[in-house]
Structure formats: C-alpha cells, structure tokens
Amino acid sequence: MLARYVVRRVVASIPVVFGVTLITFGLLHATSGAFVPGLELNPNLRPEDIIRIRNNLGLNDPLPVQYWHWISGLLHGDFGRSLVDGSPVLRHISDRLPNTIELTITAILLGILISIPLGVVGALRRGSVIDNFFTFLSVAGVSIPSFWLALLLILLFSVSFHAWGLPWLPSGGAESAFGGGDPIDRITHLILPATCLAFVYIAIWSRFTRSSMLEVLSQDYVRTARAKGMSERRVTYLHALRNSLVPLVTLIGLELPGLVSGGAIIEIVFSWPGVGRLALERALQYDYTMVLGLTTFVALLVVVGNLLADVIYALLDPRIRYA
Amino acid sequence: MAVDQTTITQLEGTPVQYEGGLARPAQSYWSESWERLRGSHFGMFFGGVLVVLAVIAITAPLFSAFVTHLAPTSVNLNDSFAPFSRAHPLGTDELGRDTLTRLVYGARVSLGVGFLTVAIYLLIGGSVGISAGFYGGWWDDLLMRFVDILLAIPTIYLLIMITSMLPLPIGPIIIRHDAFSLSTIIAITVWGTVARLVRGEVLTVKNRDFILATRSIGASNLRLMLRHLLPNVLPVMIVAASLGVGQIILLEAALDFIGLGVQPPTASWGNMLLNAQSYFYHSTSLVILPGICIVLAVLSANIFGNAVRDAFDPRLK
Amino acid sequence: MADHLLEVQDLHTVFPTKDGVVKAVDGVSFHLDPGETLGIVGESGSGKSVTVLSVMRLLQRPGRIASGRILYKGRDLAKASDPEMQEIRGEEIAMIFQDPMTSMNPVFKTGWQVGEPLRLHKNFDAKKALKEAVGFLHKVGIPEADKRADQYPHEFSGGMRQRAMIAMGLSTGPNVLIADEPTTALDVTIQAQILDLLRKVNHDFGTATILITHNLGVVAGMCERVMVMYAGKVAEQGPTEDVFANPKHPYTWSLLRSIPRLDAQEHEPLRAIEGLPPDLINPPTGCPFHPRCPFRIDRCIREMPPLEPVGPTQLATCWVTQAGRDLNEAAS
C-alpha cells in the first residue's frame, strides 16, 4: 500500500524535475547569454582562439542543443563544470554539502527540542502570562532578520567577550586555521550559526505546535481518552501530542527541502563553508555554470525533500495512504 | 414611521442583492471585518507605526533638508564614526555620513520594496490563481505545475542567480539594482503561493449557485472573473498581502546585506548592515540601529498583518 | 432511603460565555441502581449530555459544576480530585459517545485502544491487554476480531466502530455504562443492532446503563426508567411504562403526541410542539416550558415547580399535575 503511494508520488514529481531544469537553464541563458567571464578581456587570446574556446564550450550551438547536452549530462550525474576554474560542479557540492547539512540538521534538532515543549506549555496554559510571553517571542522571532541576529550574536559572543577577556566563540568559518579538525573546535564554530538558524524554526514551530495542540485537545477522541480514566499527562503526551505532531511533521517536512537552502544567509554571515555561501561566492565571480549547477541541484533536493516529507506524513498518519 | 422606513430600505436593497450582493460576501462582511480590525487595539497601534514609517519614508528629502540638514550621501572624512551629538543625533559612519539621514532614506527602500513587491505578486498570483481555478482543465494543470516548479527552486538561490547578472539590458530598458527592479524580481520569484491560495478559493466559490446563475444570464467570462470571483477571493488576497509585507522587507534586506540588492551609496537598512560588518570594533551603533529599524518595520507589518488576518479571513469564522 | 449506585442531587452546571452564563444543567436530581437501565430524553440543548459529562467530570472549558452532589457508592464525585476521577473513569464508570467516527484516536490501532483501559486500570501488559481486547471485540460481535484489532479506526465502518467503543467501555467490567446518543450518527439498521448489543450487555454483564437519546422509541424498547429533561431541568421521571401511558408533565405529553404511531386513531393529526426551545442565558420566568405549554396556569409564569411525586411511581415538575389534574383527560 505504502509502496504504491511512494511510486505514485515519485512519478508525479518527474515533470517538476524536468520543469526545474528548463527554468534554471532558460533563465541563465536569457540573462547571461553566452558570456564567459574574463574571456574577451584576456590580451593573450586572439579572436580566433576566443571563437575556438566558445565552440569547445558548446556556446555557439543552438540553445535546444545546448540544453540537450546539459540535461543528458545531468541524467548521468554531471552538473557541469565551473567557468572560473574548470572543475566539476559536483565536486564542489560534495565538498560543501556535508557542512551545510551539519549546520541545518543541528538547527532543526535544536528547533524541535525547544519548540515542541514551548508549544505544548502554551496550549495547556492558554491565555496565561507565560503563553502570552511565548506568543510575543514568536512574533518577534519571525520579525528579526536572521543575519542581524547573527551580527548581534557575533558582536556579543565574539567581539565583546573577546574584549572583556571572557571565553569567546569564533565568529566565522567551520574550524580554526590552526589546530582545526578537533570535534570540540568544530562544535564551538557551530554554536552561533546553529543557534541563529534555530531561532526562526523555534518561533514558527512553537506557534504551530500550540495551535495544533489546541485543536486536537478539543477533539472527541481526547474526550474518549479522558473517559478511559487516564492521567492528564498521558492524555496530553500520548493521545493529543501524537496527533498534533502529524501536521507539525509536515511543517518540519517543509524544511526538509530547505535543508540545503534554508541556511544560505546564515552561512554567508558566518563564513560557513556550505553550499549557500559557495553559490554567493561564485555568483559574485560570474561563474554562471556553477550557479546554474548549484541552483538545479538544490531544487532537485527540494523535490526529493517534498517526497520524503510526504512519505513520513503517510507513515505517521495511516489515513493518508488510502486517500 | 420607523417600520415604514425599514420596509423601504429592504425593498430598495433587494435588487442590489440580486445583481452584485449575491456575488460578493454580503455588504456587511467588509464593514464587519473593518469593525473587528478596529477593535484590535494592539493591531491598530502597529498599523499606526507602519503609517508613521511610511510617512517618514515618503518625506525623507524634506527630513534631510529641514531636520538634519544633510544629504544621505554627503561625506565628511573629518567626522567619521562621530558619536551621538546635536549635529548627528545618531552619529556617523566610516565616511562621516549622517546615520539618521541614511536610516530615513533606508525606510524608502525597505517600505517601498515591501509594498510594491506585494502589489506586483498579488497581481500575478491573483491573475494566475483566478484564471487557473476558473477555466480548470489543462490550463489549470499547466499553470499549477508551473507553480510547483517555481516553488521547488529555493527563492534565495533564484534571487542570487538573477540579481548577480544585473545590470541586464532587456530591449530598451536596463534592469539595475534599484528598488523598482528588485521589487519586480522578488515578486516574480514568490507569487506561487498566492496563486495556489487564490486558486483554491476560486474552486470553492466557482460551483456555488450564484456563479451558475450569473452564467445563465449570459455574463462574459471576464466579467464573471472580475465582478464575481474577484470580490470573493479578495479576503484571502488581503490576508496574504498583509502577512507578506514583513516577509518581503526581510528578504529585500537580506539581499542588500549579501551585496546583491540596492547598491551603495544609496542607503538601505540591509546594505548599511553589510557595511557595518566591517567596523565591529569602531562602532556598535552602526550594527544595532539599522537592525532595529528593520525589526520595527517588520514587527509592525506582522502584528498588523495578524490583526488583518483575524479580522478578514473568512475561514477563521 | 436505600443507597443507590449513583445518585445526583440538585446538580447545577454552568458555562460562562461572553453573552452571559449558560445554565446548561439547572437543578437536576436522579439516581441509578445496580443493573438498571435509565433513559435520559430531551431535545438538543436540554442538558442531557452536560448532565452525564458532569458526572464523568469531562466538561469542556469553560464549563464547570456550580453546585450539587454526585454520589457514586457514597463518594461525592463533584468534589473528587483529578487522580480519584481517573480511577473512577473507565474503571467504575465507562462512557461511549455519539460519533464513533471522531471518538477514536486515528493514529492508534483499534485493538491497542480497546485494550488501553485494561493497561491503565488492571495493570495488564500490552500483550495480555490486546488478547483481552480481541476477546471483547469478539463479544460485541466484530467478526475476525483478531485481524480487526490490528487495523486503524478509519478502516472500520461506523457501526463497527461503535461496537469497538462499547468493547472499550466494557473491558474493565465497569458498574455503570453511559451511552451518549450512541446511535444518532448511525444508519437506522445499524442503530437497531447497536441497541440490541447494549441491551445484551446490560443483561449479560449486569452493567447499569444510562442511555441518552432524543428518541422516545429507543427508550421504550430499552429502559426500565426514564428521565425527561427540558431546559436544563428535570421535567419528569419514572418507570418507562407509566410515563408513556400517563405522562405527568405537559412536555412529555407533547413529545409523546409528536411521535407518529401505527396504531393512531384515523385522522388523528400529528402534533408538533409549537414554539422554540428556551434561551438558556435568559430563561423564561417560572417554569421554562410555560411559553409553549397548552395547560399553562398563572402560577407557571411566576414560580418554578419543585420535583415532586405525582401519582404512585412518577416525579414531575408541574403545578398542573401536582394539583391533581390528568393531562390526557384535560386535553380531550
């Protein structure tokens, strides 16, 4: 049953994948044309060399042919080569992706660990001072630009703590230039960016858990559970929470696609060597094929992420599978 | 007498109800929603803050001419990193430019882009959503698949990809890193969710009797969409718009901050923060002040947006 | 006075709302003896569900018991602590609800849910509870109970779910089973099956049953005694046969006349009760039924009658019948 559902969802996402490649490729060529950074400016190249190089790069082929070459490469797992250093895009991705995932997963775990208890407490003490305080925090949480929060954290924990002679946290990078590679060093570098990223998740998810919990608590089956004579704790944490987590998992599932892109800005502020920072660095160097490859790759991950979220959802809520 | 008047109003009200009244939520919906909105003092207060910020943004040149007597770009290298003073109420940056003046001009960018982008994406998303929901069939499939595709590409990557190619000549016009172009570009990347929302709403309204009735008296498709469907989906669009402004301000500030938005020397809150990042040790206020401005604008937009949603969302009733 | 299994005395339950305080249950008294079946009848909003939810202490916020006593085996449940109530619920008093579609938790398997009271109250381990649950599912007439126990509630039909709910209620062997409109959400043919099942349960297990319904026919077929409620108050109570043959409250009288009957006199018109149910925030003065009552006297408008014996077996809140008049005779 579940297998058939998964197959159906996979088939449905094929046109989306195809469309994504069409859009990213089309957009790139509509905007950059066949511009190769630095090529025309290089004094060592004769005009005929330039033409030859362009021919070799396939830039003088008709667009459909270029698209065909590109997408057949994609089908073989070839995301193209950088225009700046000629290295395969995929190699850069495989260098950077683990860092990005490490950052995002840490933030998501932090977010889940903190937001669910906050949401449950808010729902159980609806209208209390503590509930109102959480509400305010979450509205503020989604109103604070993550990169500014990042600057403030750096200002406090790196710059000021350093100045005051306190133990301070590094303001950027994933490991120290000297003595890197040690897990403790890595964790100290991870703390600030992960906290920053988790902040937004907490703001959104705690609110969501609260409203979902309130809705579930008013359901008939919660009354049935109480009528069985169980403690309020068991009603809340077993019967109600399990149900209110179903929509929350979808919401967190919506972050699954963002696993790589969600932290892009944070990566940039903290110089975290992830995919998002790579995209920006290369965009600023007009490395179009790299940006195209990265964007396509990330979009494919989004499609896969959506798929995974649907499957998890189906696993958690048995009603979905038969719909 | 009183009884007579009531009767007359009712009689006069009847034909109106047949023509338009059935098509849109009852007249009282708008006044009721408005009443609810006015009843939310918290929401109205922050709505007021938003209006004040907008007025400051619009009158920025007057402010610069008569209050600070400084232009946002006037450099004075002898006066860099000046502390708060009478001449510079919020100090100066590394080039001796007046921070207050620059913040006031920054409001123009943030609020301008915020409102303009929302207007554009409502237009695109609304048109796509209404026509997809109204015509259905292959047209609906095509448009909604396109929305799926668009939403699959992370906004920030799409924006990095497009904005890094600016300036970009398209025919006679050149698209640059200015507020207007950025609004258009951001709107083009984010209209998908609104289109989905509007389409869903159209689907629920489309098959109600009044649309069939209007069709039966021979109304054109365009008239059906604009006169009869649009008023019904307007509430969800209002809600989407009110919650969108804050998000767009954040997104635009982030673009400025990574250097792909509004370019210096034009002041924006985002690029002021980018600039301040290099001078952590010189001036803390340069890091803090633009951020406070962003938070104030976004917080006001979000709280007011929540109040609008609570007042207008037909599904919350 | 003999000790009853359950005795409710002058129960008042209120729901504060922004428009005012709703007196959902306004001075209700009744009792239930071991093995007995009591029907509670009334239109929607008459307070019958709120009455039993008060007994179970399962009122939704902001509802609360304002005053009154709920004596179960001599203990006052109105004053019992939450842990004490948890011991009572499911173990001593079980309850099944109107809509079996929404009353079971969609994310747990049926057998697990049916066995849950056993794990809670009898300290059964999961395996033993499941085995027992399958046995009960079988007893309430679910075919292939062992397979069904492994399915989720949404894979059950409405009737099957209500059977499962009954199994869940019975599993701990409670003394009282409260069924709140257990058949309202079901098809007519299924309704009859569920009622048969409830009758069988009462007979085989000796579980005292409170059946809430708005259907007088259901009460006639099932209950030894009946309590009729109107506007949060008791209109009348007594043995079902006596109440049906000789109603002592004009509301009961009107209700009985509004049922279509196969043995009706030729051309006898079917009578609907005229007027609307009362507003519970600002109830009418005196007897709440007086605006709709064909037998109304002046005193009814001024003063609420107490619940007093009328005739040898019945109790009623009506000045007219308490004064000795017979409604059937008065109407003809």
Do B302 and A148 count as a contact with CB atoms less than 8 A apart?
no
* CB burial of residue C262 (10 Å; 0-12, 13-18, 19+): exposed
| Domain limits for position C116 | 6-223
CATH number at residue C27: 3.40.50.300
Q: Which residues contact C291 (CB under 8 A, 6 or more apart)?
A: C275, C278, C284
Asked if residue C33 is part of any domain, the answer here is yes
| Domain limits for position B21 | 1-29
Q: What is the mean pLDDT for each group of 10 consecutive residues in chain B (317 residues)?
A: 35 35 54 78 86 87 75 74 74 77 87 91 92 87 89 86 78 78 89 89 77 69 77 83 87 89 84 83 82 91 85 64
Residue among C82, C87, C97 minimizing CB distance to A224 = C97
- Our answer on whether C and B touch (3+ beta-carbon pairs < 8 Å) is no
CB proximity C152 to A under 8 Å: yes
Using CB atoms, which chains have 3+ pairs under 8 A with B?
A
A207-211, B85-89, C53-57, C260-264 — which one is most confidently predicted on average? C53-57
Q: What is the pLDDT of residue C212?
A: 92
Can you tell me the distance from the alpha carbon of C322 to that of C39, in angstroms, rounded to the nearest whole number? 23
- DSSP per-residue string spanning C249-270: SHHHHHHHHTS--TTPPTTPPP
Can you tell me the distance from the alpha carbon of C308 to that of C317, in angstroms, rounded to the nearest whole number? 6
Task: Check whether residue B21 and residue B64 sit in a common domain.
Answer: no
Asked if residue C228 is part of any domain, the answer here is no
Residue among C60, C89, C165 minimizing CB distance to A229 = C89
Q: Given CA atoms C119, C122, C124, C129 in this order, what sign does their dihedral have?
A: negative
CB proximity C165 to A under 8 Å: yes
Do B161 and A306 count as a contact with CB atoms less than 8 A apart?
no
Q: What is the pLDDT of residue C33?
A: 92
CB atoms within 10 A of CB C49: 20
Asked if residue A208 is part of any domain, the answer here is yes
CB proximity B142 to A under 8 Å: no
Asked if residue C244 is part of any domain, the answer here is no
Task: Check whether residue C191 and residue C286 sit in a common domain.
Answer: no
Task: Check whether residue C159 and residue C34 sit in a common domain.
Answer: yes
Task: Check whether residue C160 and residue C307 sit in a common domain.
Answer: no
Q: What is the pLDDT of residue A38?
A: 64
Task: Check whether residue B20 and residue B1 sit in a common domain.
Answer: yes
Q: What is the pTM of this model?
A: 0.73
CB proximity B284 to A under 8 Å: yes
| List of long-range contacts for C128-131, beta carbons under 8 Å, 24+ apart | none
User: Residues of C with CB below 8 A from A230's CB?
Assistant: 86, 90, 116, 120
Task: Check whether residue B22 and residue B63 sit in a common domain.
Answer: no
Q: What is the pLDDT of residue B218?
A: 65
- DSSP per-residue string spanning chain B: -HHHHHHHHHHHHHHHIIIIITTSS-HHHHHHHHHHHHH-HHHHHHHHHHHHHHHHHHTHHHHIIIII---TT---GGGTT--S-SSSTT-B-TT--BHHHHHHHHHHHHHHHHHHHHHHHHHHHHHHHHHHHHH-HHHHHHHHHHHHHHHHS-HHHHHHHHHTT-SEEETTEEE-SSHHHHHHHHHHHHTHHHHHHHHHHHHHHHTSHHHHHHHHTT--HHHIIIIIIHHHHHHHHHHHHHHHHHHHHHHHHHHHHTTSSSPTTS--HHHHHHHHGGGTTT-SHHHHHHHHHHHHHHHHHHHHHHHHHHHH-GGG-
User: Residues of A with CB below 8 A from B245's CB?
Assistant: none
Overall average pLDDT of the A229-236 stretch: 84
To which H or E segment does residue C26 belong? strand C20-32
Overall average pLDDT of the C242-247 stretch: 90
**Overall number of domains in chain C:** 2
Cα B290 from chain centre: 20
User: Does the structure show a pLDDT above 80 at A75?
Assistant: yes
Asked if residue A261 is part of any domain, the answer here is yes
CATH number at residue B142: 1.10.3720.10
Local confidence band at A177 (pLDDT 50, 70, 90 cut-offs)? low
Give the residue on A whose Cα is nearest the Cα of C168.
A228
Do B246 and A142 count as a contact with CB atoms less than 8 A apart?
yes
Do C86 and A230 count as a contact with CB atoms less than 8 A apart?
yes
Q: Which residues contact A181 (CB under 8 A, 6 or more apart)?
A: A175
Asked if residue A318 is part of any domain, the answer here is no
Q: What is the pLDDT of residue C262?
A: 62
Task: Check whether residue B62 and residue B193 sit in a common domain.
Answer: yes
Q: What is the pLDDT of residue A89?
A: 86
Asked if residue C239 is part of any domain, the answer here is no
Asked if residue C277 is part of any domain, the answer here is yes
| Domain limits for position A205 | 97-270
CB proximity B53 to A under 8 Å: no
Asked if residue C92 is part of any domain, the answer here is yes
Q: What is the pLDDT of residue A24?
A: 84
To which H or E segment does residue C308 belong? strand C308-310
User: Does the structure show a pLDDT above 70 at A61?
Assistant: yes
Q: Which residues contact C151 (CB under 8 A, 6 or more apart)?
A: C109, C110
Overall average pLDDT of the A212-239 stretch: 84
| C75-76 vs C64-72, strand pairing mode | antiparallel
Cα B271 from chain centre: 20
Task: Check whether residue B264 and residue B193 sit in a common domain.
Answer: yes
* CB burial of residue A186 (10 Å; 0-12, 13-18, 19+): middle
Nearest alpha carbon to residue B77 among B96, B100, B92: B96
Report the gap between the CA of A323 and the closest CA in chain C (Å).
Answer: 11
Give the residue on A whose Cα is nearest the Cα of C53.
A227
**Overall number of domains in chain A:** 1
Do A228 and C58 count as a contact with CB atoms less than 8 A apart?
no
**Overall number of domains in chain B:** 2
User: Does the structure show a pLDDT above 70 at C240?
Assistant: yes
Local confidence band at C265 (pLDDT 50, 70, 90 cut-offs)? low
Task: Check whether residue B23 and residue B44 sit in a common domain.
Answer: no
Residue among B157, B168, B250 minimizing CB distance to A294 = B157
Asked if residue A185 is part of any domain, the answer here is yes
CB proximity B174 to A under 8 Å: no
Could you tell me which residue, C294 or B93, shows the higher pLDDT?
Answer: C294
Can you tell me the distance from the alpha carbon of A138 to that of A323, in angstroms, rounded to the nearest whole number? 34
Q: What is the pLDDT of residues A294-307, one digit of tens each?
A: 888 888 888 888 88
Nearest alpha carbon to residue A9 among A323, A306, A315: A306
The DSSP 8-state label assigned to residue A179 in this structure reads S
Q: What is the pLDDT of residue A1?
A: 67
Asked if residue A168 is part of any domain, the answer here is yes
Task: Check whether residue C219 and residue C261 sit in a common domain.
Answer: no
Overall average pLDDT of the C147-163 stretch: 87
User: Residues of A with CB below 8 A from C82's CB?
Assistant: 231-232
Cβ-contact B166, B177 below 8 angstroms: yes
Task: Check whether residue C19 and residue C155 sit in a common domain.
Answer: yes
Q: What is the pLDDT of residue B20?
A: 37
Task: Check whether residue B17 and residue B43 sit in a common domain.
Answer: no
Task: Check whether residue B206 and residue B65 sit in a common domain.
Answer: yes
Asked if residue C234 is part of any domain, the answer here is no
Using CB atoms, which chains have 3+ pairs under 8 A with A?
B, C
Overall average pLDDT of the A233-252 stretch: 79
Cβ-contact A259, A101 below 8 angstroms: yes
Radius of gyration of chain B (CA): 24
- Which H, E and C letters describe A227-245, residue by residue? HCCCCHHHHHHHHHHHHHH
End-to-end C-alpha distance for chain A, whole angstroms: 11
CB proximity B46 to A under 8 Å: no
∠ CA(B250), CA(B255), CA(B257), 5° rounding? 90
Asked if residue C248 is part of any domain, the answer here is no
Overall average pLDDT of the A144-151 stretch: 88
Task: Check whether residue B13 and residue B112 sit in a common domain.
Answer: no
Task: Check whether residue B277 and residue B298 sit in a common domain.
Answer: yes
Task: Check whether residue B44 and residue B187 sit in a common domain.
Answer: yes
Residue among A225, A229, A232 minimizing CB distance to C91 = A229
C57: left (phi over 0), alpha (psi -120 to 50) or beta: left
Asked if residue B34 is part of any domain, the answer here is no
Task: Check whether residue C199 and residue C111 sit in a common domain.
Answer: yes
Task: Check whether residue C59 and residue C117 sit in a common domain.
Answer: yes
Can you tell me the distance from the alpha carbon of B276 to that of B270, in angstroms, rounded to the nearest whole number? 10
CATH number at residue A119: 1.10.3720.10
Task: Check whether residue B123 and residue B226 sit in a common domain.
Answer: yes
